[in-house]
Amino acid sequence: MMQIFAVAALAVPPLCAPFTAAPVRPAAAMGHVLVREAETLKELYEAGVPFGAFLDGAEARKQMWHDNWAAAGVPESLLERARGVAGPFHVLVIAVDSCSDSVNSIPVIAKLVELVAGLDMRITDSKRGRQVMETHRTKDGRAATPTLLLLNPDFEEVGCWVERPTKLQAWYDAKQKEGLPVRQLTEQKMGWYRDDAGNEILSELVQIMEAAAKGGRICSSNSASGT
């Protein structure tokens, strides 16, 4: 049975990494990965929900989810590249509505999926998707949301993307070294997302798709820490 993914909104922005205490496991290999007993990536994907259902059920950051979806767009150059990639591909996303990175990235990814015939997407929560998160950790060892897997038609993993864009993470790391308070850092991060309008995540996702179409694999899990 699929877990309920909506959680109550919190006054302080929650961490997007709920499973830091679990031991680090080797990175997921290509193929049918056992997510939990008797559950493959195909089964996990099929148990997920479309973005529209996730959006309707979002409680934490509800207005931001709807605003970001309404504003989501895809630059024509990236749209042409995505449409030119041989597919189809399934996009499996592990996300929670309270996560500040998820609310900024998932709507624009959903817009790309909506506009590209060779893509479809399902979202599952961090409880059911825990094993995927644990096998695709950030560089500092966290299981974080959002975690995205690109799957081929046989539901084999051919690429991944974790938490936030590379350029944003470089900016975030620099600000952390400056000792910026967490709340202020989070506010500025949200401003970065607004200014970027989803371009960096889309660019990285299209690169992952292009590599997969050529038989390669990009797994972007470059983050170091975050909220």
Place 27 in a pLDDT band, splitting at 50, 70 and 90: very low
Residue 36 is given by DSSP the state B
Of the CA atoms within 13 Å of residue 137, those in its CB half-sphere come to 19
Sheet-wide strand order for 157-162: 119-124, 89-94, 147-151, 157-162, 219-220
What digits encode the pLDDT tens for the residues 184-199? Answer: 999 999 999 999 999 9
Domain segments of the chain as ranges:
41-220
pLDDT above 70 (res 15): no
Q: Is 90 exposed, middle or buried (0-12, 13-18, 19+ CB in 10 A)?
A: buried
How many other CB atoms are there within 10 angstroms of residue 182's CB atom?
13
Residues 6+ apart with CB under 8 A from 162: 136, 137, 138, 144, 146, 147, 148, 219, 220, 221, 222, 223
Query: What's residue 218's pLDDT?
Result: 95
Report whether 41 contacts 33 (CB < 8 A): yes
Q: Where are the alpha helices (DSSP H) in the chain?
A: 41-47, 51-57, 62-71, 76-83, 100-115, 130-134, 166-177, 182-196, 199-213
pTM of the model: 0.82
Average of pLDDT values for 141-170?
95
Question: 168: pLDDT confidence band, cut at 50, 70 and 90?
Answer: very high
Inform me whether the pLDDT recorded for 181 exceeds 80. Answer: yes
**Cβ-contact 126, 18 below 8 angstroms:** yes
Architecture per CATH, domain 41-220, reads as 3-Layer(aba) Sandwich (3.40)
**What 8-state DSSP symbol labels residue 23?**
P
Q: Please check whether residue 85 is in contact with residue 209, taking contact to mean a CB–CB distance below 8 angstroms.
A: yes
The pLDDT tens digits of the residues spanning 69-86 come to 999 999 999 999 999 998
User: Encoding tokens for residue 129?
Assistant: 């998707």
Q: Which residues pair with 40 in a beta bridge?
A: none
95-137 pLDDT tens trace: 999 999 999 999 999 999 999 999 999 999 999 999 999 999 9
Its sign, for the CA torsion 137, 186, 188, 225, is: negative
Residue 29 has pLDDT above 90, yes or no: no
Specify the length of the chain in residues. Answer: 227
Burial tier of 111 (Cβ tally within 10 Å: 0-12, 13-18, 19+): buried
Residues forming a β-bridge with 49: 123
Residues 115, 42: Cα–Cα separation, whole Å: 23
Q: What does the pLDDT read at residue 139?
A: 83
